[in-house]
Structure 1
């Protein structure tokens, strides 16, 4: 018997958001872990540099500052073990390895930079803990700042998965470089046309496998669910799974397209850092609904870090 139960910190360093989950692992196998803390910070690691293949100096500093805060929380909660993963921005940035080294030297946290296919697998492992996928095939979608993962799976098997480097920060950089104004119809058409080109493998997979529903795991889906509710929810308030009515999505999408930046900020349920990214994300979701004919949308509060936890508990 150990004197102290294992307290595990899971850190997911995404391109927009860094997440921290602290759990106490069960003493007996088969029991669920006890959640002690769930928090996130808008780091926007990709801002000002992802399209140039670099983490900008301000974003680099925000990452270290956020991890200093996470480290403090970990000490406060008596964490004994840490798993930290990084995804798109740190996969592709020239100075990603330098940031990994700095994090190791300053905080003693070893960051594992994971490939897109592995990221997709972990997302599915997390989502299926939150959403009853059932035996029918579902299209799971995680819109990050740097990459977007698509997985066609049911509750026990992945049929197809792919990660595409077309995350919301990249789309924003390419199609909507001036965030102050209203989104121009030409820019929306430009994004849609590019999606058709870049996501050809997804179109083929959807036609072959015919998923019956969409499950969204990521901040953009949380924001759309918050808009449906008409208020912003804290991280710990989010239920594992929310039904997002198609009409609600269409209403939010039309609203996002018709407003300028300041008006989007004023919408109930919008986090300031998402006001612009949510537009490109909604264009992408609408496009996916269009190519798949799917009408049922559910959101998952669980994603990569919960997948990692599930995998560790199953080992």
Structure 2
């Protein structure tokens, strides 16, 4: 048995998964998430803000305590979009090394996509393949097409934090802001579609906080319940409806929704718009919401 710890540090959140993996069997021990907004302002400045580094390293210190207490044997720490873009990333990487004693892997978008695919499709039936896995993060969105393994992947810079900072910086946003965001999003989807056959999948799987929050809204949940959300099927019509709902609400109204994580309030409108545009571009009738994603893929990678 291998007890492993996977850490996924994105633009908006940092997450920890401790799991026991034995002969292909996966048992979750700890799953934790904190919204740290590491990518605060990176789209404009190309640098990490000192406050963002401080918030993130504080979360890493908490994760380190859990890793030590659970007797973890192997750790893998992957950082994605914001860290790829930040010119002063060494400050963050050095801080993590001092706390955990491991090197941060700043993985390219294509590797991020492959790890997301592994995590998202492990539990799915092969009869539902080929799959298109869409991972809407804070800084980027990954499109991954595959069958038993990845066939094509593309990462594009249309994450929920990046689109919020670039376009939807008021809540509710104006029609003009939404229109400009749609132009940006659709261009990026077109770039992804030049590499990935986004209209050929039998099943669209959407992962990460934007997709699961949209699923919670579509399911009309009173509170966030990952077990009800996981592998639920959400119609394209419901996605468009939820995206429109989020665009119409004030920040206070969004925050009052029982399933809404406080750290997603100011970026969920942009994230839902990205998902809505993805649904339109792919032409699929529904998506499968998966709570298993890159974090699970990182954990599986530690068994190789």
Partner residue of 1:77? 70
Calculate the aligned-residue CA RMSD, in Å: 2.1
Tell me if structure 1 keeps the 8 A contact 2:168–2:181.
no
- 1:111-169 CA distances to partner (integer Å, 9 max, x unpaired)? 11111111111111111113335354332110111111011223x13232101122111
Partner residue of 1:187? 177
Q: For structure 1, which runs of at least 5 residues remain unmatched after alignment?
A: none
TM-score by length of 2: 0.92
- Give 2:10's match in structure 1, choosing from 6, 14, 18: 14
Give, in whole Å, the separation in 2 of the partners of 1:22 and 1:234. Answer: 20
Q: Secondary structure at the match of 1:24?
A: strand
Cα 1:101–1:207 change in 2 (3 A) is closer
Tell me if structure 1 keeps the 8 A contact 2:17–2:299.
no
Give, in whole Å, the separation in 2 of the partners of 1:264 and 1:21. Answer: 28
Bigger radius of gyration = 1
Partner residue of 1:122? 115
Q: Secondary structure at the match of 2:94?
A: helix
- Give 2:164's match in structure 1, choosing from 149, 167, 172: 172
Q: Secondary structure at the match of 2:127?
A: coil
Give, in whole Å, the separation in 1 of the partners of 2:258 and 2:27. Answer: 32
Tell me if structure 2 keeps the 8 A contact 1:147–1:164.
yes
Pairs within 5 Å for 1:260-275: 260-275=250-265
Cα 1:136–1:105 change in 2 (3 A) is closer
Give, in whole Å, the separation in 2 of the partners of 1:297 and 1:308. Answer: 23
Tell me if structure 2 keeps the 8 A contact 1:137–1:209.
no
The answer as to 2:281 corresponding to 1:291 is: yes
Give, in whole Å, the separation in 1 of the partners of 2:158 and 2:198. Answer: 23
**CA offset at residue 219 of structure 1?**
0.4
Give, in whole Å, the separation in 2 of the partners of 1:243 and 1:105. Answer: 43
Partner residue of 2:153? 161
Cα 1:130–1:49 change in 2 (3 A) is same
Partner residue of 1:113? 106
The answer as to 2:292 corresponding to 1:302 is: yes
- Give 1:51's match in structure 2, choosing from 40, 44, 52: 44
Cα 1:252–1:38 change in 2 (3 A) is same
Q: Secondary structure at the match of 1:130?
A: coil
Equivalent pairs counted in the alignment come to 303
**CA offset at residue 205 of structure 1?**
5.0
Tell me if structure 2 keeps the 8 A contact 1:90–1:97.
no
- Give 1:232's match in structure 2, choosing from 220, 223, 230: 223
Cα 1:33–1:207 change in 2 (3 A) is closer
Q: Secondary structure at the match of 2:38?
A: coil
